[in-house]
Copies of this chain bind each other. A is one copy, B any other.
Amino acid sequence: MAPVGVLLWRSLKAYQVFGANTDVGKTIFTTLLCNASRRFRPDEQISFLKPVSTGSVDEADDGHIKKFASQTSTKTLFQFEDPVSPHLAATISKQSTPADHVVLETIRHHAASRALDGPGWLFLETAGGVHSPGPSGTTQADLYAPLRLPVVLIGDSKLGGISQTISAFESLRIRGYDIESVLLFENGHYDNHSYLSEYFAGEHGISVEAFLPPPLRVSDRDSDIAAMIEYYEKASSTEKARSVVDNLESRHKDRISRIEAMASEAYDTIWYPFTQHGRLSPSRITTITSAHGDYFQTLVPNSSSNPSSQSLLQPTFDGSASWWTQGLGHANPKLTLAASYAAGRYGHVMFAETIHEPALELAKTLLETMNNPRFSRVFYSDNGSTGMEVAVKMALRATRERYNLESGDKLHVLGLRGSYHGDTMGAMDSTEPSVYNEKVEWYDGKGYWFDYPTVICDNGSWQVQVPRSLEGHLGATQEYGSMSEIFDINRRRQSEVYRSYESYIRTSLERLVREGRRFGALVMEPLVLGAGGMIMVDPLFQRAFVDVVRNSADIFSEGGPTSEDPDPQAWTGLPVIFDEVFTGLTRLGPLSSSSFLGVGPDISVHAKLLTGGLVPLCATLASTSIFKAFESTDKTDALLHGHSYTAHPIGCQVALESVKELRRIEEGSTWDWAKQSWKEASGQASKKGQSGHRQPVVWSAWSESFVSEVSKQPQVSGVWALGSVLAIYMKDAVSGYTSNSAARVQEALSKGVSSSGDGSWNVHSRVLGNVLYMMASQTTKREDIERLEGLLRKAIE
C-alpha cells in the first residue's frame, strides 16, 4: 500500500460530482457534463467513473451514461446489488469490503490511465449525499478528501433544498474541498436557484447554474429514451452548458498555473525562518498544495517540462512532523471540527479576569494529564518560546523572593550545553552562545550550561557516552544490554555512576557560586535536546542534576535570609523548569517526558503537539509555591506578561481534543506492535517483574532491529529512536548546525521512490547539521514506518 497522490494531471480535467442530497439529479447532471464536454471539446476524451455503485447493474448510473452519453468511456469500480447505502450494501453482499485506501488507489490507478490518453475529462460521480458512507463506513466526504478533486456540487432544487445545498457545501469545505461549480434544476416555485446564486457568488465567488429538469418519465420505454436523448441534446448544447464547460476548463488551468507559479512568487515575497536566502532558489522551495494524514501533496520538480500525462503532484512524507507539531495527522476532521466549533461559539475572548469553557477545561485536563502533585496553575501563551519566557520569569522571581535577593543581582539559569528554548530574546538568553544566537543583536546568555553524558546506539551497542572533558569526573563510556537498561533510573540511582554524577554537579555548583554567580532556575529539556541537535542526554544525569539542585538550598541562599514555604510541594534549592515543548505529550512515548527521569518539575512548558498540529498555543504549568511569589496587594508585582490572543478559544478547544486523543493513544493499544519489538529486544517484560518498580515503557515506532542495523553502517556514528523520533548521526569532519553531512541522505529521501507508473512518493525531511532525524506522527501506521525504513536504508548506504 503506497501513499496516494492527489489527482492532478495537466492532460486530464478531473471533477468529482457530489450531490447536496440523494435524488437531486447527480447522474443526469453528470451525463449532461459528459455530453457538453464532448460537444464543446470534440477532440478530447470523456470519461465517467463511478467508484462505488449500489443497486442492480441494469439500473446503475454507468448504464445511464452508456445509454445517453454514448461516446463516454465509463467505468464502475465497486458494484453492490442492494440499492442502499454502500456500507450496508457491502455488508449485505458476499463481496469483501474494500478498505478506504484500496478504493483510493483503484480510483487513482484508473484516473492515471485516463491521463495517458491525452487531453480529456473525467467525471467521478459519488453515491448519495456528501456524507453517505462508503463501503468501509467512512463517509464519502472523508473518504475522498485525500484525492482533493475539485467538486461540481449538484444542488437541491426542492423544498428545503437551500438548506441541504449549503450544508453539503459546508461539509465539503471544512474538509478542504474546492467547490468549483454548483448546478441544479430550475424550479420556479421554490426558486432555490436565485437564493443560492446570490449566496454562493457573494460569499464564495462560486457560480450557480440552473438547468431545465428532464421530462417526466413515461411508461413507454422507447418514448422515454427518445425524450431523454432529446433532453440531453438540447440541454448540453445551450450557452449555459458551454459556459459551465469553459469555467471548469479555466479553473483547471488556473489551478495548475497557480501551483506552478507559487515557488517563484514565494521566492520573491517570503522571508523564511532559519533560511539563508543567499543559498535559496525557487527550485529548492517545496510547493505544498495540501496535506492529509502523514503526507504532504507536493508539486513534482520540473513539472512544466514533464509530459502532460504525468502526475503534477506526489505524496511526500512529512518527515519533520511539520516541525515537530504534527501528532494526529494533517487535516484531522476531529481537530477541524473542534476549531470551528470554538470559532462559531466565541471567536476570541480576551483573557484577563474572564473565563471561558475551553480554557478552563484544558487547564484542568493538563493538570490531570501531567499528574505532577506540584502543579496547580496554568498560564497560557502563544508558542514554546513565549511559554519559556514566562517560565523563566516565574522561576527567577520565585527565587528572588525566597532568598530575599537584591534587585541588583542578575540571576542566571543552570542548564545543559546545546539547549534550545526558542527565538525570542528571553528564551535565547537562557541558552549558551551558539550558531543560533551568536550573530543575533542583543543576545546575552545568562547562565551556566553543563556538559553531560549522552545515550546512543553505536555499532549495535547501547551506550552512555561520556564527553572527553568529563571523563576525569564521570569515568568512561558505559555499555548496556539494551536501551531500556539505560532508562532503569531507579536501579541506576543505586550505582556508582549516579554518585559520580551527583558529586560532580554539586562540586561544580559550589565553585560557580564561589566565583560570584547567582542562579535562579534549573532549565532543561527532559531527555532530548531537540533543536540543539537531537541529543539524547543520559536521563540519570538529568535526574542527578534535579536531585542535587533541590538539595542545595545552602548553596543558592549562601546562608542569607530565606522565606519559608511550608507547602510540601514547594520547590527547594532552585525552581526546576522542564521545557517539554518538543519532548512532551507522547512525542517520546509518555505524556510527560519528565517520567523518564522519575521526577516532576516545578514549572513545565507545553506546546507543539499540544494542539496536535493545528494552531499555535502554549501552556506553562506551575506549582502553587511559584504562583505565590507573585501574589501581593500591589498590581505591579503580578506576572505582567500577556498576549492579545492569550488562551484563544480555538487553540484551547483543539488542544482539549488533541490531549484527549493523545491520552487515548498513549493508554490504548495503538502502539502495541511497536512496543513489542522493543520489549523483545530488551527482555523488558520479564525484567520488570524482577526489579519490582515501575518505569516508563521504552519503545519507538522505529524498530529496534532497524536502529541496530543502521548503527552498524560505516557512515553512521550512532542512532537512537524513542517514541515517534529517530535520530541518525552521520560521520562528518565538522559537526553542528553548519555541517552539511546529513544533506546527502536528505537529498536521497527527497528523490524518494520514483516509478514510471503511478507509485512515486518521497520524503520531506529536515536535518540538524550531521544529524538526520525523522519524526512520525502518533497515528503513523506500521506499514508506513516499514516503507520509510526501507527507503532510509537505501539512502544511507
Contacts and interface: CB of A to CB of B under 8 A. Distances in A.
A460 interface: no
A334 to B, nearest CB: 7
Nearest to A650: B615
- Which of A148, A266, A329 is packed against the most chain B CB atoms within 10 Å? A266
A635 interface: yes
A195 B137 contact: yes
Given A85-B190, A273-B352, A273-B643, 13 more contacts: A88-B191, A269-B367, A273-B380, A322-B349, A325-B350, A329-B347, A331-B346, A336-B344, A423-B640, A424-B425, A615-B616, A616-B616, A616-B651
Interface stretch (A211-219, A233-241, A382-390): A382-390
A189 interface: yes
A318 B631 CA distance: 28
A357 interface: yes
A288 B326 contact: no
Nearest to A284: B353
Count of identical protomers in the assembly:
2
Contact of A336 (B148, B280, B343): B343
Interface string A150-182: 000000000110111111101101111100000
Contacts of A335: 343, 347
A526 interface: no
A263 interface: yes
Interface stretch (A31-39, A42-50, A300-308, A436-444): A436-444
B131 A347 contact: no
A726 to B, nearest CB: 17
A640 B411 contact: no
Contacts of A289: 356-357
B270 A22 contact: no
A379 interface: yes
Nearest to A608: B644
A262 B439 CA distance: 47
A383 B645 contact: yes
Interface in A593-619: 607-608, 613-616
A400 B439 CA distance: 11
Nearest to A84: B190
Given A159-B22, A190-B85, A340-B173, A195 B616 contact: no
A14 interface: no
A16 interface: no
A420 to B, nearest CB: 11
Interface stretch (A95-103, A391-399, A476-484): A391-399
A441 B411 contact: yes
28 contacts: A21-B163, A22-B159, A174-B343, A174-B344, A262-B360, A269-B360, A269-B377, A270-B379, A274-B638, A274-B641, A275-B638, A276-B630, A276-B638, A289-B357, A291-B346, A318-B350, A320-B350, A322-B347, A347-B614, A382-B383, A383-B644, A386-B423, A389-B425, A400-B441, A442-B446, A614-B650, A616-B644, A616-B651
A326 B343 CA distance: 13
A120 interface: no
Nearest to A335: B343
A636 B392 contact: no
A539 to B, nearest CB: 24
A347 B376 contact: no
Contact of A363 (B270, B279, B427): B270
- By size class, the interface of chain A is 35 or more
Given A176-B344, A322-B350, A615-B645, A396 B442 contact: yes
Contacts of A145: 344
Contact of A613 (B347, B441, B615, B635): B347
Given A176-B341, A324-B644, A131 B163 contact: yes
Contacts of A337: 170, 173-174, 340
Nearest to A175: B344
Given A269-B378, A442-B446, A766-B352, A642 B133 contact: no
A502 B371 CA distance: 61
A420 B160 CA distance: 54
A346 B442 contact: no
A175 B341 CA distance: 6
Interface in A174-201: 174-177, 189-191, 195
A627 interface: yes
Given A132-B160, A651-B615, A326 B347 contact: yes
A117 interface: no
B439 A378 contact: no
A269 B375 CA distance: 9
Interface string A438-468: 1111101010000000000000000000000
A21 B429 CA distance: 59
A97 to B, nearest CB: 14
A666 B209 CA distance: 32
Contacts of A357: 258, 262, 289
B440 A640 contact: yes
A336 B164 CA distance: 19
Nearest to A174: B340
A679 to B, nearest CB: 30
B276 A634 contact: yes
A637 B271 contact: no
A252 interface: no
A5 interface: no
Contact of A164 (B21, B380, B646): B21
B364 A269 contact: yes
A351 interface: yes
Contacts of A423: 386, 389, 640-643
A761 interface: no
A285 interface: yes
A276 B129 contact: no
Contacts of A87: 195
A633 B85 CA distance: 60
Contact of A278 (B285, B353, B631): B631
A358 to B, nearest CB: 11
A403 to B, nearest CB: 13
A347 B331 contact: yes
Contacts of A325: 348, 350, 644-645
Contacts of A634: 276, 278
Contacts of A85: 159-160, 162, 190, 195
